[in-house]
Amino acid sequence: MANRHLELGVFAPTIGCMPPQGKSSFMLVSSAEQRTEPTFEYNRRVAEMLDRAGLEVFFMAQRGRGFGPSDFWGTSLDSITSAAALAMVTKHLRIISTVHTAFLHPGVVARMGATLDQVSNGRWGLNLVSGWSHKDFEMMNIPFLAHDERYRQTAEFVEVLKNFWTTDWFDYHGSYFAIQQGSCNPKPARLPPLYNAGSSPAGKDFTARYCDWYFTGAVTLPQVKAEIADVRTRAAQYGRNIRFITYVFVLCRDTQAQAEKEADEILSQADFTAAQELIEGITGQTVGTAASTIGQGVTPEQMLAAVVLGVGSAKLVGTPTQVANKLLQLQDAGIDAVGLTFRHVEEEMAGFIGRVLPLLEEMGVRKRQARKVIPIGRAIG
């Protein structure tokens, strides 16, 4: 227990929606009030708060087109340039960017990453996305390859990327990339860690072979344990070890009744059209088919509600003690790091740091760390 340390941070609000396109939103597919802004200034404040508190993770997704009439996730900061700026105002926080491997050449990303390694002093990592929304590809007139072929393209992307980071004057001849006398200087002092969230067999095998972290979107503890066991087995076949990260939506209030009442209020203002588009974009199936694929008695209505509240993430709804206990359970299941999300990210993260973090240290989930936190106005929980 003494050596355990669950890394924590945020699944960052670098994606969302902002006026005039729609109401401010982030991880709730709902018209309920969300005091969270996908702006750089807002994210800078959150990152500085995490850094002062001794937290470790700032994970940035990146989006293209939005979903539904509300244009959910239609606003997205660029996670590469954001990482460079955030690295200059933090000292310890690990900053993770996302790249869609069909949209950027690995030689370009290699040079960006080598520069970010210097800017961040080794605190930068890269989340690799093969792409799942055909709208993003159509917007830029990029061919939307079949699912498994997208992962084969991403595998070549990583092979080329790592060659640029480790080798001079290399040649590479693949199905998707061809390099002649490739070279990238400066090179990173250490290879930046690579992340992937693909839950399909092709995605898991890609992670096992090429990545350092697997991002699981599994919701229940049995699902989390099963995915971790699967990816560990696949990684062992390549002689590799993988670490595991997930994201959770936190609704932490003084009583469980307060938290549940607020969850019901959010669901009563749901944007089910955007939620349906999001599910069908990710799965390539109708909501009914996707629910039946999951099985376990999940109905289409339950699946839509799970997306409305936290975009399909696991839910930590309850008191500070209940939230801390659920994080302990995730750690026991094999999770190494968690990106937290909230309705009102900045103020609720401040409440989490003040009320839940000490509990996690007392429970041995995290090692005690010195921290300096400047209180945020209207902190919730």
- What residues does each domain of the chain span? 7-256+314-362
DSSP-derived pairing of the beta strands 15-16 and 75-76: antiparallel
**In sequence order, what DSSP letters do the residues of 33-57 get, joined into one string?**
------SHHHHHHHHHHHHHHT--E
For residue 1, what are its two tokens? 């227990």
Residue percentage of the chain with pLDDT more than 70: 91
Helix, strand, coil shares of the chain as percentages rounded to 5? Answer: 45, 20, 40
- Domain 7-256+314-362, CATH homologous superfamily name and number: Luciferase-like domain (3.20.20.30)
For the segment 194-205, what is each residue's pLDDT rounded down to a tens digit?
999 988 999 999
What's the CA gap between 252 and 122, in Å, rounded? 33
Mean pLDDT, consecutive 10-residue stretches, the chain (381 aa), reads: 86 86 80 92 98 98 76 85 98 97 96 98 96 80 90 97 97 97 96 94 96 93 95 97 97 96 93 81 69 67 84 91 98 98 96 97 90 50 44
Nearest to 215 by CA among 293, 125, 153: 125
What's the CA gap between 237 and 101, in Å, rounded? 25
In this prediction the pTM is 0.91
| Tokens 């801390």, located at residue | 324
